[in-house]
Amino acid sequence: MNARRMVQTALGLGMALVTTVALAGSVTKTAEGCTKAHAVLLVSKSGDHAKEWARVRGVLTANPDKWKVVDSVEPGTAWQVSFNQYDVKWNEGATAYVAHCGHGGTCNEFAEALIKIQPNVGSPRVYCGEVPAALTNAQPGSP
């Protein structure tokens, strides 16, 4: 490979890395007005549910008057959140940690607050409607 081609290849790889870094830690949002939103905050194979929920609890601790944790959210009501953990189909041993909201903007903002204090959680994704089909065996979560 000649020197020019090596530089082009290196630059191409560098651009790919920059793109990856820029996208890591971003939130895929849903519509603000969604009345049945679910934020998949993180997925882990650690098996240490207390540790993973503690990461999520940091958002509540940092903003004690912002979100109200409830057993079941009311559709269309902002600032309420409830939490479940799910098994992940096709990913043996993986657990998804999910916030449920009655307002899309609430879940969007909760996910963004999480990556601000826990930038290594990855890229949370917020859905409108039903919980994604890949998530099974819902269990109450406790941040």
Looking at the predicted structure, is the pLDDT value of residue 129 above 60? yes
**pLDDT over 90, % of the chain:** 76
Answer yes or no: is 65 within a domain: yes
- Is 114 a domain residue? yes
Cα 27 to the center of its chain, rounded Å: 7
pLDDT tens for 34-77 read 999 999 999 999 999 999 999 999 999 999 899 999 999 999 99
Name the domain count of the chain: 1
12 lies in a domain?
A: no
Rounded to an integer, what distance in angstroms lies between the CA atom of residue 43 and that of residue 138?
A: 14
Asked, for residue 15, whether it belongs to a domain, the answer is: no
3-state SS class at 7: helix
| CA atoms of 35 and 25, how far apart (whole Å) | 25
> CATH code at 126?
3.30.70
Does residue 6 fall inside a structural domain? Answer: no
Q: What is the pTM of this model?
A: 0.81
Whether 97 is covered by a domain: the verdict is yes
Q: 70 lies in a domain?
A: yes
Domain that holds residue 98: 26-140
In the structure, what pLDDT confidence band is assigned to residue 24 with cuts at 50, 70 and 90? low
